[in-house]
Amino acid sequence: DQQVKQNSPSLSVQEGRISILNCDYTNSMFDYFLWYKKYPAEGPTFLISISSIKDKNEDGRFTVFLNKSAKHLSLHIVPSQPGDSAVYFCAATDSGTYKYIFGTGTRLKVLA
Amino acid sequence: GAGVSQSPSNKVTEKGKDVELRCDPISGHTALYWYRQSLGQGLEFLIYFQGNSAPDKSGLPSDRFSAERTGGSVSTLTIQRTQQEDSAVYLCASSLIAGGSTYEQYFGPGTRLTVT
């Protein structure tokens, strides 16, 4: 039972355009969500997060949107840069616990 | 070295052999997590430590898997009698303390285990 789903395994975007990565979850107890970015042969690195009390969080070129009723979140990157090419993982947690549940990742390729 | 380190970076072993994977967390981080990423899968939670104790071992796939942490620092994940389905990247992460929303997890580069 996959509680966090990233249904698009890959995405290609032209440099300068917007990248939109999507994530769906099923557990209504999740109240904190994170995005991690992973380059080959490296561990994931934290990118941005959002609490369930918000519907948007912005950090520079990165914005995460949360739609609690749809149990859906998305990561927007604008403008996309070639250095953004990586695998992006969505994660969710119940903030009363220690356990993050990760999605399967979306490989983003930004074309120069 | 300020980050989480893991060793070895790659390990090839024969089916049936035991392997030990090591994680050095960020100094001062009391929480330590082990995850596994199999091909085409997300990160699968295995176990976490708060200090030297592991309150939840439910993520360990079988009794062939065990983990320990000593001195509130280094952790080892041991897989006994390895099977081909154990082949995966094993990732370690640490955070200041355990707690889902407040404390970001910092990941190491992982150990790629291949069981032949």
The answer to whether B111 faces chain A, any CB pair under 8 Å, is no
Segment B7-31, tens digit of pLDDT: 999 999 999 999 999 999 999 898 9
Segment A25-66, tens digit of pLDDT: 999 999 999 999 999 888 999 999 999 999 999 999 999 999
Which residue shows structure tokens 């939840």? B56
Which residue shows structure tokens 């557990």? A27
Which residue shows structure tokens 């009363």? A96
CA A24 from chain center: how many Å?
10
Judged by CB atoms closer than 8 Å, whether chains meet at A42 and B43 is answered as no
Ranges in chain B, pLDDT < 70: 1, 98-103
The answer to whether A21 faces chain B, any CB pair under 8 Å, is no
Q: Which chain A residues in 40-69 lie under 8 Å from chain B, judged by CB atoms?
A: 41-46, 49, 51
Q: What are phi and psi of A83, to 5 degrees?
A: -65, -10
Q: Tell me if residue B58 falls in helix, strand or coil.
A: coil
